[in-house]
Amino acid sequence: MNGNLYHLFQSRFPKDRGRVFIELADGHTYSYADLEDISGRYACLLGELGVEKGDRVAVQVEKSPEAVFLYLACLRAGAIYLPLNPAYTQSEVGYFLGDAEPRVVVCQTETEKAVTEVARKAGVAHLLTLGQNNDGSLPTRARGLAPIEGCCAAEPDDVAAILYTSGTTGRSKGGMLTHRNLGSNAQALHETWGFRPDDVLLHALPLFHTHGLFVATHCVLLNGTGMLFLPKFDAETVLRLLPRASVMMGVPTFYTRLLARADFTAESCAHMRLFISGSAPLLEETFHEFQTRTGHTILERYGMTETGMNTSNPLDGERRAGTVGFPLPGVEVRVCDDDGKPLEREEIGVLEVRGPNVFIGYWRMPEKTEAEIRPDGFFITGDVGKIDARGYVHIVGRAKDLIISGGFNVYPKEVELCIDRIAGVAESAVVGVPHPDFGEAVTAVVKRTPKSATPSAEDVIARCKTELANFKVPKQVHFVEDLPRNAMGKVQKNELRARFA
Ligand code: AMP
> What would the 3-class secondary structure string for 83-134 be?
ECCCCCCHHHHHHHHHHHCCCEEEECHHHHHHHHHHHHHCCCCEEEECCCCC
DSSP string, 314-365: -SSSPPPTT---EEPTT-EEEEE-TT-PBPPTT--EEEEEESTTS--EETT-
| Spatial CB neighbours of 208, under 8 Å, sequence gap ≥ 6 | 60, 83, 84, 85, 86
The Å distance, Cα 322 to ligand 1 centre, comes to 13
Distance between CA 366 and CA 357 in Å, rounded? Answer: 19
Distance between CA 251 and CA 265 in Å, rounded? Answer: 19
The response to whether residue 164 sits with its C-beta less than 6 Å from ligand 1 reads no
Q: In what order do the strands lie in the sheet with 349-354?
A: 332-336, 349-354, 379-387, 393-398
The Å distance, Cα 97 to ligand 1 centre, comes to 26
DSSP 165: -
Q: Could you tell which of 181, 208, 302 is best to mutate to test the pocket of ligand 1, judged by most ligand atoms within 8 Å of the CB?
A: 302
The pLDDT value given to residue 52: 98
Confidence class for position 471, pLDDT limits 50, 70, 90? confident
Nearest protein Cα to ligand 1, atom 23: 280
The Å distance, Cα 301 to ligand 1 centre, comes to 9
pTM of the model: 0.91
Which is the closest atom of ligand 1 to the Cα of 163? 2
The pLDDT value given to residue 168: 44
The pLDDT value given to residue 170: 59
Mean pLDDT of the chain: 95
The response to whether residue 131 sits with its C-beta less than 6 Å from ligand 1 reads no
Distance between CA 125 and CA 109 in Å, rounded? Answer: 18
Average pLDDT over every residue of 429-441: 89
Nearest protein Cα to ligand 1, atom 10: 304
The Å distance, Cα 173 to ligand 1 centre, comes to 16
Confidence class for position 166, pLDDT limits 50, 70, 90? low
The Å distance, Cα 481 to ligand 1 centre, comes to 24
Q: Where is average pLDDT lowest: 122-126, 174-178, 436-440? A: 436-440
Q: Could you tell which of 210, 254, 298, 395 is best to mutate to test the pocket of ligand 1, judged by most ligand atoms within 8 Å of the CB?
A: 395
Q: Where is average pLDDT lowest: 92-96, 175-179, 223-227, 332-336? A: 92-96
The pLDDT value given to residue 414: 86
Q: What is the pLDDT of residues 172-229, one digit of tens each?
A: 899 999 999 999 999 999 999 999 999 999 999 999 999 999 999 999 999 999 999 9
Which is the closest atom of ligand 1 to the Cα of 397? 12
The pLDDT value given to residue 176: 98
Which is the closest atom of ligand 1 to the Cα of 382? 10
SS3 track for 450-476: CCCCCCCHHHHHHHHHHHCCHHHCCCE
The response to whether residue 302 sits with its C-beta less than 6 Å from ligand 1 reads yes
The pLDDT value given to residue 169: 47
Which H or E run includes 201? Answer: strand 200-203
Q: What angle, 0 to 180 degrees and rounded to 10, lies between the N-to-C axes of helices 90-100 and 112-121? A: 40
Q: Where is average pLDDT lowest: 295-309, 357-371, 459-473? A: 459-473
The response to whether residue 486 sits with its C-beta less than 6 Å from ligand 1 reads no
Cβ atoms 432, 422 nearer than 8 A: no
Neighbours of 198 (CB within 10 A): 10
Distance between CA 107 and CA 135 in Å, rounded? Answer: 12
Q: What is the pLDDT of residues 60-87, one digit of tens each?
A: 999 999 999 999 999 999 999 999 999 8
Q: What is the pLDDT of residues 381-421, one digit of tens each?
A: 999 999 999 999 999 988 888 888 877 788 899 899 999 99
The Å distance, Cα 304 to ligand 1 centre, comes to 5
Q: Could you tell which of 304, 358, 396, 417 is best to mutate to test the pocket of ligand 1, judged by most ligand atoms within 8 Å of the CB?
A: 304
The Å distance, Cα 256 to ligand 1 centre, comes to 18
Average pLDDT over every residue of 475-501: 93
The response to whether residue 393 sits with its C-beta less than 6 Å from ligand 1 reads no
Average pLDDT over every residue of 306-333: 98
Distance between CA 493 and CA 485 in Å, rounded? Answer: 9
| Spatial CB neighbours of 327, under 8 Å, sequence gap ≥ 6 | 310, 311, 333, 353, 355, 393
The response to whether residue 286 sits with its C-beta less than 6 Å from ligand 1 reads no
The pLDDT value given to residue 410: 87
The pLDDT value given to residue 132: 87
Distance between CA 31 and CA 365 in Å, rounded? Answer: 40
The response to whether residue 351 sits with its C-beta less than 6 Å from ligand 1 reads no
Nearest protein Cα to ligand 1, atom 21: 281
Q: What is the pLDDT of residues 248-299, one digit of tens each?
A: 999 998 999 999 999 999 999 999 999 999 998 998 999 999 999 999 999 9
